[in-house]
Amino acid sequence: MVWTPQQTAAFLTYVRRHRLYALYRLIALRGLRRGEVAGLRWREVNETAKTIGINWQITQLGWQPIQGKPKTDVSDRVIAVDTQDCHRSACTICATEPPP
């Protein structure tokens, strides 16, 4: 199912205080896959250039999380984000991975 802009806005409004809001926003507005968001790393966030590198993904094989390259070669990319998304994403990643 593809959400309408109104459904997307309603969802983002509903989860705006959730600890993973920045990641939900990246999925909804930038088209990242769940595994790509799970694979984000500090070193891929460039707050100066306002970009995030999508170079890794985490998927699940049975009960085991597996880290690997994105699904396709085209999926290995750099996306532009606004200042707010870049900062929020960095803060969310900070909660799960120590900064470099």
* pLDDT computed for residue 98 by the predictor: 61
Is beta strand 64-68 parallel, antiparallel or unpaired with respect to 57-61?
Answer: antiparallel
Where is 17: in which H helix or E strand?
none
* pLDDT computed for residue 96 by the predictor: 65
Residue with tokens 């790509």: 36
User: What's the whole-number mean pLDDT along residues 58-68?
Assistant: 90
Q: Which pLDDT band, with edges at 50, 70 and 90, does 99 fall under? A: low
Q: Which pLDDT band, with edges at 50, 70 and 90, does 43 fall under? A: confident
Q: Between vectors from CA 89 to CA 9 and to CA 48, what angle results, nearest 5°? A: 115
Q: Which pLDDT band, with edges at 50, 70 and 90, does 41 fall under? A: confident
User: What's the whole-number mean pLDDT along residues 71-89?
Assistant: 81
Cα–Cα distance, 93 to 19 (Å, whole number) = 11
Residue 23 has pLDDT above 80, yes or no: yes
